[in-house]
Amino acid sequence: MPRQRICFHLEEYFLMRRSRWFLLVALLAAFGLIAAACGDDDDSEAGNPPADGDDGADDGGDDGGDDGEGRFAGQTVNILTPETATEAESFLAGLQPFLDETGLEVNLNATRDATTELNIALEAGDPPDVVIIPQPGRTRTFCDEGSAIPVPQSTQDTLAGQFDDAWWDLGSGSDGTRCGVPNKGDVKSLVWYNTGVFADNGYEIPETWDAMTTLTDQMIADGITPWCIAMESGDATGWHYTDWFEDFFLRLQGADVYDQWVNHEIPFNDPAVAEVAQFVNDIWFQEGAVFGGTDQIATTQFRDASIPLVAGDCAMVKQASFYAAPISENGGVVGADGTVNAFYLPTITDEFGTVVLGAGTHAVAFTDNDVSHAVVEYLGGAEHANGRVASGFGGYLSPNTGHDTSLYENDLEKLFAEILVSASPFRFDGSDLMPGEIGAGAFWREPTDYVSGAITLEEMLDNVEEEWNALG
């Protein structure tokens, strides 16, 4: 079986409590071999854990790669992804059939700092072969600049009919040149809740925002902390705030004004935008509403909000569908019969419909060769999606209309898939659509400074607007 080499940043190793590579990586770190494990592969086997079902011994079988067979035998693809821990394991599980068939080997650099690492690699003129990018705005920029490689027409012909046009078009440059293919979807308009806290106190799932407000006030009166909120994510710290902001923008102002905001047709400090910022502020800064207090939000790793949620120290976490993975990593069991379940984030008014905020990633080639193009095509296809769904790691949804939805192993994941396809209207994560300097820059940085107490709410909005105007 072709090898999978995985490079995780050290601070992320210890999130991988169920990872089959944890012990090996920890030992390598102790002996100072991490750099070798994540670098080029000469003849050393250091840092290359055996893939599933392979104990490292040669059993003499034909796996399609070890004996030189397969169209890419002896070649290696370097992939950079922001998915870590069990999400990265799920990614590899979906990729493994392709590796088996082609004999290709993979170096997977899985890090939450993928944005920074890609920028550094591009400046050095040595980008990874394939990058998983969650911000269509950045994909558009790379495509316009010529850094990203256009998707071959043969791949477009193969995959185009497998996606809704809205998903498919997000991988394009400003002139329509297609540089990325969709390979993952997420529902963001969700609230995860501790089922025991709800059951023990007789709380019901709120279906309106008035009911949600009543519920949170009752929880505080009962001595229960309603929310766990955490936004630290390395160089990407701040994205979680944008998720809250965008979800409530859709609920307060509607999809049309949301589109104007995302396209900078209204200023970032417009009164409509300021109303959303104040609404989120009133939730985050409500006395007794946040576990540990508001002061810790910006410095607590976003995955770690699942720890007190599972323990019942808070009742709810607003997070996307992928959050099933960290909940499971921290001992939770997701689903109606589990310790943690989820519900749709209620709307505030019927005026704007059943709004759903979502996101996803695109696979983008940064080297122009047969291997990179073949990997991108596979990552967009139904086989990769089916492998990820069937891996059992959870936290994954596919926007590919041809994948097998019966493979989702629980009703919760099926519910997420239904929410994703039945939204009316659906809107993609706004920060991901903005220019990278804003959506993955100022709109991450300024809210972090605000939540940390360094600037005011008005300054936060003014600063982002000033930076956006400076782009020209």
Q: For the domain that residue 400 is a member of, what is the CATH number?
A: 3.40.190.10
Pairwise pLDDT comparison (168 vs 44), residue with the higher score: 168
pLDDT at 379 over 80: yes
Shared-domain flag, residues 176 and 282: no
What pLDDT digit, counting tens, does each position of 53-75 carry?
Answer: 333 333 333 344 444 579 999 99
State the total domains in the chain. Answer: 2
Average pLDDT estimate for 246-253: 98
pLDDT score, position 140: 93
pLDDT at 447 over 90: yes
How far apart, in Å, are the Cα atoms of 403 and each of 184, 224, 358, 445?
12, 41, 19, 37
Three-state DSSP state, 180: strand
pTM of the model: 0.73
Average pLDDT estimate for 110-120: 94
- 53 is in which domain, residue-wise? 4-187+360-417
Enumerate the β-bridge partners of residue 172: 178
pLDDT at 12 over 80: no
pLDDT at 44 over 50: no
Positive/negative CA dihedral, 156, 159, 161, 165:
negative
Percent of the chain whose pLDDT exceeds 90: 73
Average pLDDT estimate for 8-16: 35
Contact 240, 320 (CB under 8 A): no
Shared-domain flag, residues 252 and 139: no
pLDDT at 36 over 60: no
Shared-domain flag, residues 181 and 201: no
Is 426 within a domain?
A: no
Nearest to 384 by CA among 395, 396, 372: 396
Shared-domain flag, residues 196 and 167: no
Boundary residue ending a domain (417, 443, 458): 417
Shared-domain flag, residues 174 and 280: no
| 292: alpha, beta or left? (left if phi > 0; alpha if psi -120 to 50) | left
Average pLDDT estimate for 1-19: 43
Shared-domain flag, residues 384 and 440: no
pLDDT score, position 154: 97
Residue 106 host element (H or E): strand 105-110
pLDDT at 118 over 70: yes
Shared-domain flag, residues 101 and 237: no
pLDDT at 19 over 70: no
Shared-domain flag, residues 88 and 213: no
pLDDT score, position 3: 56
pLDDT at 393 over 70: yes
Residue 5 has which token pair? 């080499």
Is 424 within a domain?
A: no
Whether cis (ω within 30° of 0) applies to the bond prior to 127 is: no
Q: How far apart are CA 378 and CA 373, in angstroms?
A: 9
Is 422 within a domain?
A: no
Shared-domain flag, residues 66 and 134: yes
Average pLDDT estimate for 297-319: 98
Specify the pairing of strand 130-133 against strand 190-194. unpaired
pLDDT at 35 over 70: no
pLDDT score, position 28: 33
Is 261 within a domain?
A: yes
Q: How far apart are CA 366 and CA 382, in angstroms?
A: 22
pLDDT at 7 over 70: no
Contact 45, 39 (CB under 8 A): no
pLDDT at 20 over 80: no
Is 195 within a domain?
A: yes
Shared-domain flag, residues 331 and 229: yes
Q: How far apart are CA 415 and CA 30, in angstroms?
A: 43
pLDDT score, position 151: 98
Q: Which amino acid type is present at position 44?
A: S
Is 430 within a domain?
A: no
Shared-domain flag, residues 255 and 297: yes
Is 87 within a domain?
A: yes
Average pLDDT estimate for 116-124: 96
How confident is residue 132, by pLDDT bands cut at 50, 70 and 90?
very high
Residue 103 has which token pair? 């004999």
Is 389 within a domain?
A: yes
What pLDDT digit, counting tens, does each position of 275-300 carry?
Answer: 999 999 999 999 999 999 999 999 99
Shared-domain flag, residues 229 and 326: yes
pLDDT score, position 4: 61
Q: How far apart are CA 307 and CA 223, in angstroms?
A: 19
pLDDT score, position 345: 96
How confident is residue 21, by pLDDT bands cut at 50, 70 and 90?
very low
Q: How far apart are CA 208 and CA 213, in angstroms?
A: 9
